[in-house]
Each structure stands twice: as structure tokens, then as C-alpha cells.
Structure 1
Amino acid sequence: MYSTQYQSPVGVITLESSGQHLTGLWIEGQKYFAQTVDGKVESKQNLPIFEEVKKWLDSYFEGQNPDVSILPLAPKGGEFRQAVWKILCSIPYGQYITYGEIAKKIAILMNKPSMSSQAIGGAVGHNPISIIIPCHRVVGANGSLTGYAGGIDKKIKLLEIEGVDMTGLFVPTKGTAL
């Protein structure tokens, strides 16, 4: 496994790769930082995959909508988490979805009558490839900007970069009913 860092408008980002696939992307200080890393990681700056991802990130932070499908992603996680992350990848740039909407999609996919929004939140929160697998595009049912492992301030910044209409979205304060 290999890693490198990228300086971004939301802070230092650590990239992890098997050498062929991107396996991790974490914002400095992110909850669950590098939780999926197995064994020793060697620092390496010039892997082709890192160059591709850095170009993608440059484009993203310039306010463009780079194509995610061109990146070879290999997030580590079980079947449930993989299904949730696949749905995250389908959220259009500049838009958002609620945890409840994802829960309904997963319930249908898994042929279940319902799915817990909290279970979805757990899978979203453990996304090992932040930004590229856009977990920042998930909000609470009432428009609350909650549950971003990188920090709410970074979630807001990412949504602003994408030009999301923030009308109706808010940061919950202590005691706010979600």
C-alpha cells in the first residue's frame, strides 16, 4: 500500500492506493481516518493513480464536475456499505439526497420492507474515499447538514464548491429536533 498527500481548500488530504486503485481519501482530522488501512503504508508521490486523482481533485476544487468513472476506485467494505457507496456515486454533482431516501433505495435493492436511516448513516460515515464518493451530498430529512466525518465546515465548503442551493439547509444546533 502507498500513500501521498494533497493540499486542498479543505485541508491536507491523504490518498491511499494499492498501486493500481485508489483505496482511500481522507481529509486531515477526519473521523475514521485511514480506518481501512491494512499493514504498512509506504509514502510515494509519483504513482500514476495519485497523479490521476490529483488532477481530478484540481478540477473538482476549481468548481468543475470531473468524471468519477475515470478513476479506478477500490473502497474496502462489506456488501451493505458497498451498496450505499454505489448510491452515493449516483448523486448528481451540485445536488443532495437524504439519508432516508438512500434507506428506501437500499431497502428495495435488498428486498426488505424498510431500512434504518441510522444504518445508512453508519455506511456513509465510514466511506473511505471522501469527496470522490460524495458522502458530503447527504443531508438529514429536514435539510440539516449533519453527519459528515470530515466536519460540517468542510461539508458546507464542498457543497458551496459544487454550487448547491443552500436554501433550506442548515447546521443543527444543540436541541434542534432532527
Structure 2
Amino acid sequence: MTLYTTTPSPLGELLLAGEESDGAFALASVTVPDQRRGAVVLPHWRRDPVPFKEALSQLEAYFAGELKQFDLPLAPVGTPFRRRVWQALDEVPYGSTTTYRRLSEAAGSPGAVRAVGGAVGANPLLVIRACHRVIGSDGTLTGYAGGLDRKRSLLTIEGALLV
């Protein structure tokens, strides 16, 4: 069953969705307002903040600058290629950035920079899975589904950008 909740954040109200199955719960998406290809609440989803307690606590600590790595059960839906790219994203340390080219190499697909960019753009777990840490090869902020202002904010929280 798909459960969801919302929470205020410095990025706007976040929509969190997750899957509950056989008593276990895993986070499937974190969406910001007006996000390209962001999740929308469907009629069969049930609002229930209780299973999100740990995710909400970790997000609050992250935005306060007190958490550098999330530790949550995740259940994002994606192709094997996208999942490989997302796994490579998980290896980009807090407070640092990488390029799409370096990420494509880390994901084992050095010739697939555009496809890697598509996988990064399809990341359903904004903030949690740090696609905001991927920048253009010339150092510019590019391609964030939540908008470049939010990307800039997240990188500033992490100290990867100076204001």
C-alpha cells in the first residue's frame, strides 16, 4: 500500500511517499512543489505520517546542517540502469560535487553521459539521494528537477557553494 505525508522545508512543502508491505516500510519518493515529473497523490494512497517519522527526523536534521548521510530503507522504482546511476549518486560525499561525466564513469557507463543525465533527472528521492551534487563539467549548476534555486540552496547547506 502506498502511504504519504507532507512536511514543510526550506525548499517548500515536501511530499513523501512510501510503500508498506508485510509490516515493512520503505521510502519511495520525496518531491518538491512544481517538480518536473514529481509524484502526485493518487486517490488510492493513504495519508499516514507515522511510518515517515524517521525520514522526517532525518530531513529536519539535514536542513539544520546536522546530518550528512541519510540512513533510511528506500524503495525507488527505476530501470536497472537508473538504479545503477542512483547507486553511484549515493557515493558522492556530502559537501562535494561531481560532474555528469564522472558519474557516468562511476556508474560503469562512461559513454552514456546523456543517459546518466536522464537517470539523474528521474531520481524520485530528491534531497535523500543527492542528485543536487551533480553539476556541469564547467562547474555550472545545471539540470535539477526541483529547480536551480533549490539546487543552489542544498549545495549551500552542504557547504559545497559559498553564498
Give your verdict on TM over 0.5. Answer: yes
Residues 98-152 of structure 1 show CA distances to partners (whole Å, capped at 9, x for unaligned) of: 001011222xx36xxx422111110000000111100000000001100000000
Residues 5-33 of structure 1 show CA distances to partners (whole Å, capped at 9, x for unaligned) of: 01000101000011200001011111011
Q: Aligned pair 1:88/2:89, yes or no?
A: yes
Q: Is the 8 A contact 2:152 2:161 kept in 1?
A: no
Q: Aligned pair 1:29/2:30, yes or no?
A: no
Change (3 A) 1:39 1:23: farther
Q: Aligned pair 1:77/2:78, yes or no?
A: yes
Q: Aligned pair 1:58/2:60, yes or no?
A: yes
Runs of 4+ aligned residues of structure 1 deviating over 4 Å after TM superposition are: none
Change (3 A) 1:161 1:123: same
Identity of aligned residues (%): 38
Q: Cα distance, 1:41 vs. partner? A: 1.2
Q: Distance in 2 between matches of 1:4 and 1:32?
A: 18
Give the number of aligned pairs: 158
Residue type of the partner of 2:48?
A: K
Question: Any idea what SS the aligned residue of 1:164 has?
Answer: coil
Question: Any idea what SS the aligned residue of 2:30 has?
Answer: strand
Root-mean-square deviation (CA, aligned residues, Å) is: 1.8
Q: Is the 8 A contact 2:58 2:67 kept in 1?
A: no
Aligned to 1:104: 105
Length-normalised TM-score, structure 1: 0.83
Q: Is the 8 A contact 1:22 1:74 kept in 2?
A: yes
Segments of 5+ residues of structure 1 without an aligned counterpart are 168-178
Q: What does 1:126-141 align with in structure 2 at a 5 Å threshold?
A: 126-141=122-137
Q: Distance in 2 between matches of 1:151 and 1:165?
A: 16
Q: Distance in 2 between matches of 1:60 and 1:84?
A: 23
Q: Is the 8 A contact 1:56 1:66 kept in 2?
A: no
Segments of 5+ residues of structure 2 without an aligned counterpart are none
Residues 50-87 of structure 1 show CA distances to partners (whole Å, capped at 9, x for unaligned) of: 0000000010000123432x200111101000000001
